[in-house]
């Protein structure tokens, strides 16, 4: 079983990686977040979190980022194929907990995998 770590190379740090869009991107909406899966050439997935100042103060923004980072760390092995994942916090009030975030993250991964499978079955012919 692979260890559930989260190294620096698994984080999206370039502004261009946040902004660039591609037709193959898969966008999944959950109640509080918008999750964008971008196909990656790297053999592992990466995570980037967007929380603007309009969501709350610095404590709140740090909380959102830490909770989402933890959900990614625990479940990154399920993202197949590997992708750059960008999570955008919507305008929803209330302090997030880890369990809520993980549930949203898992549903997003599930829908992402579903779209990939249908594409794989449709396109080969």
Partner RNA sequence: GGAGUGGAUCAGGUGAUCGCCGGCAGGAGCAACCUGUCGGAGGAAAGUCCGAACUCCAGAGGGCAGGGUGCUGGGUAACACCCAGUGGGGGUGACCCUAAGGAAAGUGCCACAGAAACCAUACCGCCAGGCGUUCAGCCGAGUUCUCGGUUGAGUGCCUGGUAAGGGUGAAAUGGUGAGGUAAGAGCUCACCGGUGGGCCGGGUGACCGGUUCAUCGGGCAAACCCCACCCGGAGCAAGACCAAAUAGGAGGGUUGCGUGGCCCGCGCAGAAUCCCUCGGGUAGGUCGCUUGAGGAAGCCGGUAACGGUUUUCCCCAGAUGGAUGAUUACCACCCUGAUGAAGGGAACAGAAUUCGGCUUAUGAUCCACUCCUUUU
Partner RNA sequence: UGGGGGAUCGUCUAGUGGCAGGACGACGGGUUCUGGCCCCGUUAACCGAGGUUCGAAUCCUCGUCCCCCAG
71 vs 16, 41, 86, CA distance in Å? 24, 22, 13
The residue (of 82 and 111) whose beta carbon lies closer to RNA is 82
65: contact with RNA by CB under 7 A = yes
Beta bridge partners of 47: 11, 85
The residue (of 92 and 114) whose beta carbon lies closer to RNA is 92
| Residue indicated by tokens 């790297």 | 42
Q: Which stretch binds RNA (CB under 7 A): 22-30, 33-41, 68-76, 109-117?
A: 68-76
How many angstroms separate the most distant Cα atoms in the chain?
51
* HSE-up of residue 112 (Cα within 13 Å, Cβ side): 29
| Residue indicated by tokens 């979190």 | 49
List 80, 97, 115, 118, residue binding RNA (CB under 7 A): 97
List 29, 31, 99, 119, residue binding RNA (CB under 7 A): 99
The residue (of 96 and 108) whose beta carbon lies closer to RNA is 96
Burial of 90 (0-12, 13-18, 19+ CB in 10 A): exposed
The residue (of 19 and 125) whose beta carbon lies closer to RNA is 19
64: contact with RNA by CB under 7 A = no
CA distance 60 to 72: 19
Residues that bind RNA (CB under 7 A): 3-9, 11-15, 18, 48, 50, 57-59, 62-63, 65-67, 69-70, 73, 97-99
């Amino acid at each position: 079983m692979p260890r559930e770590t989260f190294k620096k190379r698994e984080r999206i740090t370039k502004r261009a990686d946040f902004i660039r869009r591609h037709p193959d991107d898969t966008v999944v909406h959950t109640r509080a977040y918008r999750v964008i899966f971008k196909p990656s050439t790297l053999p592992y997935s990466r995570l980037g979190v967007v929380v603007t100042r309009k969501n709350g103060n610095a404590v709140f923004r740090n909380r959102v980022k830490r909770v989402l980072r933890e959900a990614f760390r625990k479940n990154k092995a399920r993202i197949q194929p590997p992708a750059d994942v960008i999570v955008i916090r919507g305008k929803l009030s209330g302090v997030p907990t880890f369990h809520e975030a993980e549930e949203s993250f898992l549903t997003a991964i599930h829908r992402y995998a579903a779209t990939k499978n249908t594409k794989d079955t449709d396109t080969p012919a």
